[in-house]
């Protein structure tokens, strides 16, 4: 009986993972989903495309002589305790300009930023680094240092939490761990440009996909509930 149940649970998880996702956007329909709320910081616009399977930002014009400008896309959902959030990020900072850019995945509890990270490029003639932080402790911060990532590249960026313990991974390898038990109810996609010279660009930065699902143990419990409900019927 247990063996049959295990097989059934595996089958349900295999078929139904997208069903349990609270966010599942592969940016493959040519139009930015209206569910994403766009917030501007020291800018009023951004140059972007959704093409193929990429959401790509190529410029964030700054206003009022501010050196920082950013665009934040957010989506809210029913709060998660345990979770797994994955995104694929791509960057090409060209190494030719004097601006600095970030592409990050962010997790919020209401308006409180809980965990975030991704890729940060650097100034002219320098390549960038991977970076992450878990709020609020400054102890939960990591960056790999300038010139540790290539000028152009891609990576799968993953954040998981089980019983408050958060792991942040780069291509499956944990590079920062910390703790926060705040409920996660919003995901953010963040593009940030730091430039002292008008007209400078941070190159191009993209998301290939972003998914957020309950942590696997939670999914197994959901699957068992589905199976038990089916048996009763």
Could you tell me the pTM of the whole model? 0.84
Rounded-to-10 torsion of CA 202, 116, 88, 32 = -70
Residue 155 vs residue 21, higher pLDDT: 155
β-pair type (47-51, 37-41): unpaired
Write out pLDDT tens, residues 25-68: 999 999 999 999 999 999 999 999 999 999 999 989 888 878 88
Identify the three-state secondary structure at position 134: strand
* Nearest-angstrom CA–CA distance, 127 and 86: 24
- Smallest CA-to-CA distance from 202 within 90, 53, 73, 84 is with 90
- Gyration radius from the chain CA atoms: 19
- For residue 136, the model assigns a pLDDT of 72
Closest to 73 (Cα-Cα) out of 91, 99, 48:
48
* Domains of the chain listed by start with CATH number: 15-59+66-232 (2.60.120.200)
Q: At residue 163, does pLDDT exceed 90?
A: yes
What's the CA gap between 2 and 9, in Å, rounded? 10
Query: What pLDDT is recorded for position 65?
Result: 79
């Amino acid at each position: 009986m247990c063996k049959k149940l295990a097989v059934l649970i595996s089958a349900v998880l295999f078929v139904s993972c997208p069903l349990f996702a609270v966010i599942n956007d592969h940016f493959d329909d040519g139009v930015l989903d209206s569910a994403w709320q766009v917030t501007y910081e020291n800018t009023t616009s951004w140059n972007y495309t959704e093409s193929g399977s990429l959401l790509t930002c190529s410029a964030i014009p700054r206003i009022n002589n501010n050196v920082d400008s950013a665009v934040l896309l957010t989506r809210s959902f029913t709060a998660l305790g345990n979770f797994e959030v994955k995104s694929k990020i791509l960057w090409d900072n060209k190494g030719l300009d004097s601006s600095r850019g970030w592409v990050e995945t962010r997790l919020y509890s209401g308006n409180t930023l809980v965990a975030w990270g991704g890729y940060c490029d650097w100034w002219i003639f320098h390549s960038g680094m991977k970076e992450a932080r878990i709020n609020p402790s400054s102890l939960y911060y990591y960056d790999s240092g300038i010139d540790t990532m290539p000028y152009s590249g891609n990576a799968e960026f993953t954040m998981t939490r089980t019983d408050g313990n958060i792991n942040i991974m780069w291509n499956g390898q944990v590079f920062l761990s910390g703790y926060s038990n705040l409920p996660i109810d919003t995901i953010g996609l963040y593009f940030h440009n730091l430039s002292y010279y008008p007209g400078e660009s941070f190159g191009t930065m993209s998301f290939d996909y972003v998914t957020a699902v309950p942590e696997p143990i939670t999914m197994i419990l959901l699957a068992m509930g589905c199976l038990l409900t089916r048996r009763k019927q």
